[in-house]
A and B are shown apart, each in its own frame.
Chain A
Amino acid sequence: MEWDFTLLLIGNGVLIGLMYSLIALGFVVVYKATDAINFAQGEFVMLAALISAAVIVLMEMPFWVGVVVTLLGMISFSFGLERFILRALLGRPIVAIIMATIGLAAILRGLGPLFFGAETRSITLPVGDEPIIFGPFILQPVQVTGAAVALLFLGGFTWFFLKSRMGVAMRAVADNQQVAMAMGINVERYFALAWAMAGIVSALSGIVWGAMLGVDVHVALVGLKVFPVVILGGLDSIIGAVVGGLIVGIVENLAAGYLDPLVGGGTKDFAPYVLMIIALMIRPYGIFGKRKIERV
């Protein structure tokens, strides 16, 4: 039955991987359009989970109200962030933006429990909790929902960037801001749009991950998985986020299944980073990333 176990691990890895891709998507869209790096992506997810838990559990609203409020909350939060902090840092070295988002992450981690309380709350998705058994696979409905949402958004974003007018404009902004401006594209508006998209993605990942892990500050830790995903896949590629997410999900599940008994646990958080270091050494721009050539 050795193969069944492997298949089970891979199946769960695929689902988790797609959920990682959903988070990574927020990172990639922002990087693609605005060149800004969001080290607070995990904290975005945490904030979304906290908001949804506050609405659904504390205020006892129906589930869909929670989703709508979370979406609106995260969109306005990302707008505000772009408008008041990141716009002030335009043209500054990349280290400044990284540090600003690290600062933001610290604020969210500090103030989150201050406003929402430190205890863990559970939100339940309206999908039941009977595991779906399908051949060798035992799938949790929460994870299946998460993976489905992820696939939906990955497809939607791909369509958006390839076919829609706004998506093409956003790619133009990403490619060259000055030329885009000259062609009559309102660059600032597209920056805001990119952040809003990151807000939407974070809101949904927050609800899905919150439902899976329980809502407290530790949800932010999934943000640490975003970096292996985007580095492996390529920072500015949506398909890269999917592939990177799948690789990370499968690798960490296999590591947890086979290596954990040997070294005593914790390889799940460790293996993706080793993989990432190797990727940084060999192909730092990722599998699908764009290679940048630098000149003085």
Chain B
Amino acid sequence: MFHRESGYFKTTYAADGGLYPLPIAKWTVGVLLVGFILLPTISTVVSGAVSAEYYVSVVNLILIAVVGALGLNILVGYTGQISIGHAGFMSVGAYTAANLAVKLDLPFWITLPAGGLMAAFIGVIVGIPSLRIKGLYLAIATLAAQLIIEWVINHTPAISGGSQASIEVPRPTVLGHPLKTQRELYYFLLFFAVLSIVATLNLVRSRIGRAFVAIRDQDIAAEIIGINIFRYKLTAFAISSFYAGVTGVLYTYYLGIANYENFLITTSIDYLAMIIIGGLGSVLGSILGAIFVTLLPIVIRLFMESFGTLLFSASDLNNIIPATRLGLFGLLIIVFLVVEPEGLNRLWRNIRNYFRVWPFSY
């Protein structure tokens, strides 16, 4: 978008699979990164400290969603294995980290990977049947996993912390400094979001990523050319639920409380909506989808609060907003599936291709 690519020819596979498609892309990435680092400062200058705190908190939600959407996209978009139980894995991560942080007083750099690893472990157990079953059966098995995880957490006081099944966690501490404001949390979350984006980009262009795509496109053929399906399917489940676990931990630190009600099946559907709207099997798509799906309810709320009172009473409005949100999500999933199966990523590519040769289109 920001640069022309004429004159660059790739002559080796290594160049073709490179992380940066063009040398100038390094500069684009650098500019974007500086922009993101300055974002809280810019929003403070533009809109004042109080509303900047709110805007940054919204961006924080997006950053968390990016990690989860990338993880789900590795499983669904790249490997072609469906999971309707991802929120279950998130709650596994969240409760693991919360228990470690509260009971053993461990810092985030231990609880975060621990939450991820625990989720990955559970994810592998759920993924084991994926060798024998696929498509519909796998969807149902992961749905069952979601319900069973919810039930177990809810009925085990040792995990859920007893009352209301929620555990308060202390703020994460970096170099002895607790992250209290949204602005400080922003850099914390930005680090992990960027880390997961880079990790995913590298994963999908590696041997493992190509094996995932081969399994997605035709699993029996993939097995014939020597890909160990069982191992790679389980790897996909492990990586994907590791991301989900980390998402759960980040969300727990963001809220300051671990609660299974944040990880119900509707959350799983939110994340599926993200990757479908964004684009299956695409890193940029996961990011766009996470932005879109996180902002949508906020926009609906703003819209309803400004104009909704003209049509409905204030008490009705409280029921209408979540209902509209759910309905609109469903509608968007179907519209994207029918009209643009490759999602926002495809739309973006179309725009970019149009401008690539603009204004001389022939």
Q: Do A and B come from one complex?
A: yes
**Is A114 within 8 A of B323, CB to CB?**
yes
Whole-angstrom CA separation of A103 from B141 in the bound complex:
19
Report which of B141, B269, B331, B341 forms a contact with A277, defined as CB distance below 8 A: B141
Contacts of B199 in A (CB 8 A): none
**Residue B328 CB within 8 A of the other chain:** yes
**Residue A213 CB within 8 A of the other chain:** no
**Is A94 within 8 A of B135, CB to CB?**
yes
Q: Which of A3-11, A18-26, A267-275 contacts B (4 or more CB under 8 A)?
A: A267-275
**Is A104 within 8 A of B220, CB to CB?**
no
Contacts of A155 in B (CB 8 A): none
**Is B329 within 8 A of A106, CB to CB?**
yes
Contacts of B221 in A (CB 8 A): 296
**Residue B247 CB within 8 A of the other chain:** no
Q: In the complex, what's the smallest C-beta–C-beta distance from B282 to chain A, in angstroms?
A: 15
Report which of A112, A269, A296 forms a contact with B224, defined as CB distance below 8 A: A296
Shortest Cβ distance from A101 into B: residue: B334
Which parts of A269-296 form the interface with B (CB within 8 Å)? 269-270, 273-274, 276-277, 280-281, 284, 294-296
Contacts of A108 in B (CB 8 A): 330
Which parts of A1-48 form the interface with B (CB within 8 Å)? 37, 39
**Is B323 within 8 A of A100, CB to CB?**
no
Whole-angstrom CA separation of A295 from B219 in the bound complex:
10
Given A102-B333, A280-B141, A94-B327 contact (CB < 8 Å): no
Shortest Cβ distance from B332 into A: residue: A103
Contacts of A96 in B (CB 8 A): 337, 341
Report which of A105, A111, A118, A227 forms a contact with B140, defined as CB distance below 8 A: A227
Whole-angstrom CA separation of A277 from B144 in the bound complex:
7
Contacts of B154 in A (CB 8 A): 266
**Is A107 within 8 A of B334, CB to CB?**
yes
**Residue B113 CB within 8 A of the other chain:** no
**Residue B94 CB within 8 A of the other chain:** no
Which parts of A113-145 form the interface with B (CB within 8 Å)? 113-114, 118
Given A85-B338, A98-B82, A103-B337, A109-B137 contact (CB < 8 Å): no
Interface SS of chain A:
helix
Contacts of B133 in A (CB 8 A): 280, 284
**Is B327 within 8 A of A110, CB to CB?**
yes
**Is A103 within 8 A of B330, CB to CB?**
yes
Q: In the complex, what's the smallest C-beta–C-beta distance from A132 to chain B, in angstroms?
A: 33
Which parts of B337-358 form the interface with A (CB within 8 Å)? 337-338, 341
Shortest Cβ distance from A106 into B: residue: B330
**Is A284 within 8 A of B132, CB to CB?**
yes
**Residue B151 CB within 8 A of the other chain:** yes
**Residue A69 CB within 8 A of the other chain:** no
Given contacts A85-B338, A231-B137, 15 further A-B contacts (CB under 8 A): A37-B139, A95-B135, A98-B135, A103-B273, A103-B329, A103-B332, A106-B327, A109-B330, A110-B322, A110-B324, A114-B324, A269-B147, A273-B144, A277-B144, A284-B137
Residues on B facing A (Cβ under 8 Å): 76, 80, 82, 84, 129, 132-133, 135-137, 139-141, 143-144, 147-148, 151, 154-155, 218, 220-221, 224, 269, 272-273, 276, 319-320, 322-334, 337-338, 341
Closest 5 CB pairs of A and B: A110-B327, A106-B330, A103-B333, A110-B326, A107-B330
A to B CB contacts below 8 Å, 10 in the list: A89-B337, A95-B82, A99-B272, A106-B330, A114-B323, A266-B154, A270-B147, A277-B148, A280-B137, A284-B133
